[in-house]
Amino acid sequence: MVAPVLPLLLLLLVSGLLPCQAAFWANSPPLFQNSQNVRSFTKDNFTAGVLMSDVVWVVDFYAPWCPHCKHFAPHFEDVADHYSESTTVKYGAVDCTTEDKLCAEYEVMGYPQLRLFNLPAKGSKPLSMPFRHNGKKFDGVVTWVEEVFAEHNQTTGVDLPDFDLYKVNGHGGTAPPKKQHLRPD
């Protein structure tokens, strides 16, 4: 008789905790609100900013409560910084906790999810970054972007970094070396 009671108790315990977790997750701030090179998009500005744009957009669909998204965000910002001078590719992000319909429209099923828009031309079907071991780090994203551009006989206009010069950073991946400002002697 005890066995049927245990699953019921577990169900009650889990269902009681879920609203608390949801409330905790709902209070997570957006990940890119202070970024200079990652533009935040909503349903109100996505069509004009991304779909009607003449440049290629790499968009990170994320949830601010997601640990993988929090881990990936600094890498994505580093990639956006690397391409900041490019006139052909820009970087953006969509918070799927506030833009759930936009994320559903693009069938975002997990986070973080990278989509590349407008390649080979404006209005093209977005391309998803395939799963790769260590792919969601600086070097993985840069390599993917450059490969996709090359597949379409296009260029980002930015030199591919020498990954051997990059060091392992505190985020568990490679990142560009920080620029040092030297004072003249």
| Catalytic sites, residue numbers | 66, 69
Type of residue found at 61? F
Q: How many residues make up the chain in this entry?
A: 185
3-class secondary structure, 105 = helix
Under 8 Å between Cβ of 149 and 155: yes
Under 8 Å between Cβ of 63 and 69: yes
Beta strands in the chain (DSSP E): 38-41, 56-62, 89-95, 113-117, 127-128, 167-168, 174-175
List phi, psi (to 5°) of 10: -65, -40
Using CA atoms of 110, 128, 83, 122 in order, give the dihedral in degrees to the nearest 10: -130
